[in-house]
């Protein structure tokens, strides 16, 4: 449900409701057209306007000259000179369903006595309508639509738009002509502009149209000149101009010949089937277009028939805008809940009052992280703008602070996992908060099991995604320690698990009781602890119990272990659930033993970094050989690195090693060094 004007629609007489709607629409018009501060999405504005039209149609005696229905909208800003249009700049009537478009076609045919009509179909640009006056082929004045009769003189700003010709091509143009079109901003240009706004500490624009409108009304034209604005033509002000051109499509072709950009996607279509097919085609193309459109426009193509159909007070009878389902709307942010992902990441999710956006009903939207909620200034209970484009996940774009009642509340990220109760940590410099119960948390169970069994960890051959899904879903594996309690009888009840397959898997699990300590540490899935760090920890502490007892200060004595990694390790082992699982693994015979380093070996004290693909050994295997010979493996190149072992496609580490003067060797040279160690 979406709100109307501040007053409730219940218990109001038609006259009171009309007054309330007029006041609200006037307020919205002022913010949009004068202050460049749109308060609502188009869909919400359209609903209010449609309600007003319906009430006035039902009660024509209540229509007054100052009603928004009797004029387009807006008023010129006092900072710009007023311009009276030679011909009124009318709006278009809107259709939101195929039935409404069919009714439009039927009205036109019946009024003209025609069986079938041809229409010029064009995308409806989501931009700002402007009027361009040319005299003797030269651009002399540009103006906003304003209230349709009187606009604002923005000539200096429009002259900065390179897609607007300052002089018309050719010589087949009248002495004086008013060109109508749309100023807009391409999506990519809009993203770059907003990035620049944020970089300079400025407020980002709400959408490309808002950015275009704000750019056009800059008092300093040099600011407008820096904005990536574009212009597309869609007609002329005087219906009687260029009488030799019989159709709207021919008129657009002439304007394009004079140098105006026109929509390449335009087409001439016939009858209801042609109208529907064009709408479908543009709806399909919409996500891939470089500019935003919010619908399509159909105009009777024959200009003589246009003149015969004429106008109603606000819009031409010969044209209609068939609008897409809104890609943004407003609704209530009912609550913010936290979901725990497979890797332990906590993601806040907005629970919304159901709203139709982009053709689907939206009830949930991701909020990414706690910092994003703070940046947007969202409070639980807010009215918010929700956006959805194509198949993109719905986004809560911004709150509407002016609608707050005082009972809204701030969101606070929980200190304990909502799934398992383990403590939540957020490493310094990172936006994501994580559950520390990686070995225990049900939300992380499948991912933790797959990582534990992976080739570079405990290497349990045959334990893949589908089998883990079955084991977890059927309750056979609550933690990774349960893998070592599996039996042939348990496995026999699983899909595609025969006696031989079960025997092979149990043998692989049994072998995994005796993996080296570094692989056991890596298998635990401690955040920010990769293979290289796990090797360093194994060689430093020798036993998992010693590592579990180490504090942050001791951990930071190890090369490449900084404050963030040390804190992650300490927090992981401080979580009772993780310690319980490790105790269960110990009971199952899984302890991990560090590979003995050969004291005083040929490579003792030497630091190696491995990069690229090695021909004879995997990097993990080569690293183990180096460590067995007394050498040290690091994951990063520094001035303290003695050797960089470079395989194929070595990446950036090679360039860094060369810049630091580090000795670079190949795999063959490494093997020769290891052979010397063995011979010695």
Question: Which residues are marked as active site?
Answer: 124
Q: What distances in angstroms separate CA 169 from CA 138, 181, 233, 257, one per listed residue?
A: 10, 17, 15, 7
Q: Which residue matches tokens 């807010």?
A: 382
Alpha helices (runs of H) in 2-154, residue ranges in sequence order: 14-29, 42-58, 98-112
Q: Taking the alpha carbons of 633, 639, 643, 649 in that order, is the dihedral positive or negative?
A: positive
Q: What distances in angstroms separate CA 73 from CA 57, 295, 317, one per listed residue?
A: 19, 20, 19
Q: What distances in angstroms separate CA 43 from CA 8, 94, 224, 294, 387, one per listed residue?
A: 19, 11, 28, 10, 12
- Closest-CA residue to 235 (of 303, 138, 176): 303
Q: How far apart are the first and last CA of the chain?
A: 81
Q: Which residue matches tokens 């018009």?
A: 29
DSSP 347-380: EEEEEEEEEEETTEEEEEEE---HHHHHHHT--B
- Reported residue count of the chain is 680
Structure tokens at 499: 């006696």
Q: Which residue matches tokens 């209970």?
A: 381
Distance separating alpha carbons of residues 645 and 13, to the nearest angstrom? 84
Is residue 235 a contact partner of residue 249, using CB atoms and an 8 Å limit? no
For 239, the 3-state DSSP assignment is coil
Distance separating alpha carbons of residues 208 and 387, to the nearest angstrom? 14
Is residue 330 a contact partner of residue 354, using CB atoms and an 8 Å limit? no
Containing 653, the helix (H) or strand (E) segment is helix 652-660
Provide Rg for the chain, Cα atoms.
Answer: 35
Is residue 124 a contact partner of residue 321, using CB atoms and an 8 Å limit? yes
CA angle centred on 120, ends 391 and 244, rounded to 5°: 155
H/E/C letters for each residue in 525-594? Answer: CCCCCCHHHHHHHHHHHCCHHHHHHCCHHHHCCCCCCCHHHHHHHHHHHHCHHHHHHHHHHHHCCCCCEC
Q: What distances in angstroms separate CA 75 from CA 31, 142, 154, 509, one per listed residue?
A: 11, 16, 14, 77
Count CB atoms within 10 A of the CB of residue 403. 15
DSSP at 291 = S
Q: Taking the alpha carbons of 268, 274, 278, 284 in that order, is the dihedral positive or negative?
A: negative
φ, ψ at 362 (rounded to 5°): -105, 130
Is residue 323 a contact partner of residue 295, using CB atoms and an 8 Å limit? yes
For 58, the 3-state DSSP assignment is helix
φ, ψ at 286 (rounded to 5°): -50, -50
Distance separating alpha carbons of residues 456 and 585, to the nearest angstrom? 18
Sheet hosting strand 607-611, strand order edge to edge? 632-634, 607-611, 643-646, 663-665
Q: Which residue matches tokens 């399509």?
A: 296
């Amino acid at each position: 449900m979406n709100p109307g004007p501040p007053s409730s629609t219940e218990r109001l007489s038609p006259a009171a409701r009309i007054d309330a709607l007029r006041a609200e629409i006037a307020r919205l018009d002022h913010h949009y057209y004068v202050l460049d501060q749109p308060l609502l999405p188009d869909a919400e504005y359209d609903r209010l306007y449609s309600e007003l039209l319906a009430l006035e149609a039902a009660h024509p005696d209540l229509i007054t000259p100052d009603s928004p229905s009797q004029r387009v909208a807006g008023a010129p800003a006092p900072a710009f000179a007023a311009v009276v249009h030679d011909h009124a700049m009318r709006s278009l009537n809107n259709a939101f369903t195929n039935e409404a478009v069919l009714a439009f076609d039927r009205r036109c045919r019946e009024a003209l006595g025609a069986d079938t009509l041809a229409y010029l179909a064009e995308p409806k640009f989501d931009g700002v309508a402007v009027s361009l006056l040319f005299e003797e082929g030269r651009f002399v004045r540009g103006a906003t639509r304003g209230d349709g009769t009187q606009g604002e003189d923005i000539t200096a700003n429009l002259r900065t738009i390179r897609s607007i010709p300052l002089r018309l091509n050719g010589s087949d143009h009248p002495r004086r002509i008013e060109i109508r079109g749309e100023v807009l901003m391409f999506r990519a240009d809009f993203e770059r502009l907003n990035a620049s706004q944020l970089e300079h500490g400025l407020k980002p624009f709400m959408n490309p149209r808002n950015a275009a409108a704000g750019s056009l009304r800059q008092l300093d034209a040099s600011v407008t000149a820096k904005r990536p604005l574009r212009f597309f033509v869609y007609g002329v002000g005087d219906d009687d101009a260029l009488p030799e051109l019989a159709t709207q499509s021919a008129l657009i072709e002439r304007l394009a010949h004079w140098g105006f950009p026109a929509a390449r996607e335009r087409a001439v279509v016939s009858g209801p089937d042609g109208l529907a097919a064009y709408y479908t085609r543009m709806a399909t193309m919409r996500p891939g277009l470089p500019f935003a459109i919010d619908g399509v426009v159909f105009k009777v193509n024959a200009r003589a028939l246009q003149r015969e159909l004429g106008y109603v007070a606000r819009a031409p009878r010969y044209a209609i805008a068939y609008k897409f389902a809104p890609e943004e709307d407003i609704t209530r942010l009912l609550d913010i809940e936290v979901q725990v992902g497979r890797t332990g990441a906590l993601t806040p999710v907005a629970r919304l009052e159901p709203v139709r956006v982009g053709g689907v009903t939206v009830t949930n939207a991701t909020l990414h992280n706690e910092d994003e909620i703070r940046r947007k200034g969202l409070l639980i209970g807010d009215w918010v703008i929700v956006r959805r484009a194509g198949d993109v996940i719905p986004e809560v774009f911004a709150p509407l602070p002016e609608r707050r009642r005082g009972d809204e509340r701030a969101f606070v990220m929980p200190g304990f996992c909502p799934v398992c109760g383990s403590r939540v940590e957020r490493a310094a410099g990172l936006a994501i908060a994580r559950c520390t119960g990686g070995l225990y948390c049900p939300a992380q169970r499948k991912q933790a099991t797959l990582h534990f069994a992976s080739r570079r960890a405990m290497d349990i051959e045959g334990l893949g995604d589908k089998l883990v899904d079955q084991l977890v879903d059927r309750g056979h594996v609550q933690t990774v320690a349960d893998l070592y309690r599996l039996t042939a009888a348990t496995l026999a009840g699983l899909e595609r698990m025969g006696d031989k397959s079960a025997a092979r898997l149990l043998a692989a699990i049994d072998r995994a009781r005796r993996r080296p300590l570094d692989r056991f540490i890596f298998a635990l899935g401690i955040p920010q602890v990769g293979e290289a760090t796990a090797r360093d920890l194994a060689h430093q502490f020798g036993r998992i119990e010693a590592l579990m007892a180490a504090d942050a200060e001791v951990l930071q004595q190890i090369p490449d272990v900084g404050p963030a990694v040390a804190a992650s390790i300490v927090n992981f082992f401080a979580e009772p659930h993780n310690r319980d699982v490790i105790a269960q693994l110990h009971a199952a015979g899984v302890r991990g033993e560090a590979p003995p380093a050969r004291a005083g070996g040929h490579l003792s004290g030497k630091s190696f970094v491995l990069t690229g693909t090695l021909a004879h050994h995997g990097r993990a295997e080569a690293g183990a050989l180096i460590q067995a010979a007394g050498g040290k493996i690091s994951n990063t190149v520094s001035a303290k690195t003695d050797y960089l072992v470079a395989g194929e496609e070595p990446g950036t580490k090679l360039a860094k090693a060369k810049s630091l003067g580090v000795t670079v060797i190949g795999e063959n040279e490494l093997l020769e060094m290891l052979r010397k160690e063995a011979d010695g």
